[in-house]
Structure 1
Amino acid sequence: MISTLLTIDFWSLEKLVTCKKQFFLSEIKKEANDRETETGYIIGELLKGNTLQIDTEKIETAKIFKYKKPENAKVIFNEELSFEYNNIKYTDIANIVEIEDNLVTFYIFEDKDRLYKAQDSVRGLLIGMMLYKEYQKNIQIKLILLKNKKVSRYMMTQGDIIRAEDFIIENINRIHNLLLQGEEAFIETRGEHCNNCQFCKEEQTKNIKNEIYVPDNDIEQIAKDTAKQIILLEKQLEKLYNRLKDICFENNMTIEINEHIFEPVTKYKYTVKGNVLVSFLMQNGLQPLDYLMIDSKKIKELIESPIGEKLKELAKIEPYRELEHRKK
């Protein structure tokens, strides 16, 4: 659908979650732009000494925040950050960034009435992830709740950075897959969000019982696009599985979640001729038929049995660790 690099931001993701139709019209077709200038951006520009021609109320809200530069820190205002993946670029702006020897602290602003913690700010974690990739230092979030005059601080962990990266990759893949399907993929609405959405009202008044007409010559292309989506998802799943495997191996740990267990187990690779193995088993009083379907567990039992050393002389056997996934 698009041949050039698509740029999205946090507000694009909000539209994607609440209304795919709105996302398509405003971010893909560029038919609407109702975005207001952020208070945090205004604060950054004021601290840079710039003058903004903007609503007086917004300026006054921004002036509530009083900033004091810390000693021995380099400070950057309204730094542009980006994360590019799968021909889509996510961008955002860190309003105030303080860079010290081994710490980057950035400020994110909330001018609504709601109260929440810095670690619960999805946008804050995304900005933190991009700052970590840029500076390779510890990351601290300072969430400034302007109307409530409160500050929430949070030191990001490696787990936070991994989750933030996975989150943005997952959403970029979702957008990519929708684009592969074409404009029709953005027509589906999400119910309650669409009742007050100007982009959905026209769609909702049409004959919603009628199926979307798909020309016969497009069916093959839709099948191919769907197959591509499956491949993309399989690749993403493989990446996540490998990451979990690395964590389990490095820390020798077992993970149990939602009745699923992931644990490193010892298995064995072996090479031995079938007729040699049958002869060996019979000579040692064992029934070859019991080992017709010989798996890692049975090989382990044989290796640990009294005849294990003799078997090792006949077969090339290598122990290795593998992540096993099972359901309780």
Structure 2
Amino acid sequence: MSPDKKRLFAGVDLGGTNFTVGFGDASGQLVAEEKQPTASHEGPAAVVERIADTIDRLAARAGQRPAAVGLGVPGLVDVPTGVTRFLPNLPTQWRDVHVGANLSARLKCPVYLLNDARAATLGEFMFGHGRDVQSMILFTLGTGVGGGVVIDGQLRLGPLGAAGELGHICVQPDGPWCSCGSQGCLETLVSGPALTAEGIRLLLSGNAPRLHELCAGDVARVSCELMGAAARAGDPGVQAALDRAGSYLGQVAAGVVLTLHPELIVLGGGVAALDDLLIVPLRRTLLQRVKMFPPDDIRILRSQLGTRAGVLGGLAVAVQGGVRRA
């Protein structure tokens, strides 16, 4: 490689439906990107090979092989070994699959794995709003609710790589059952499916007139995006539902703030597109619940990385050479 040519790294965002691979440099600048169907029904080996093939194509396009690969996975992974332990939304749940070693042997470069929400947190810290702070938390709001915590410039993983599961903090002790086996987790109340279900309930009960207009009464068309539009158009039922969701986020954020006092709170994932409809009640609840010290200077922002948070998170893992469990 010529001395003026930057080294490139590969970031992979693995999802149940699709995976995305991006090539970029150590500053987070992407030079090539490709999305492919995961086809997870074919099994882990086939998916890993498809990821490797995609990296090969991008390497040919970029004119160099990646110096390292970072892979964000939707579940638990043994970080030092790169062995997946439990990916609940993929067939076979990828229990004890040596993804890191197999992909590394295929690509002839180091491969590092991390939970996707923790990877997104690292990406936001290195390439997004977190670049000028030393402590932050991130909520990933989508089909589920995940999260991550950075303290003193270090992504906190804990002994199992599971630290930062903000979506499974209880906010309603007798609330809905969660897929994790507990009750009333934040995920059961502010995830995309939870908010959509509440929108459908409001519509069917006649308490969401503007939402009814926007989806022409078709419950199959109800989405978080339409709920946001209905709320901004003055639908009181939908406004109240989203305000309540933001308050639940604020309740969890308040507990984390009192414990860790981060400088920054970031909302990522598709549901974060609701923006101020969640951020305003989140901040209001934070101010109501944190009285031991003034939380006014804590910034609350929507992710700067947007839809590329996953792939840039994987890139951040590759650039950093993996993440030490801390």
TM-score using structure 2 length: 0.26
TM-score using structure 1 length: 0.26
Identify which of structures 1 and 2 has the higher relative contact order when contacts are C-alpha pairs closer than 8 Å and 6+ apart: 2
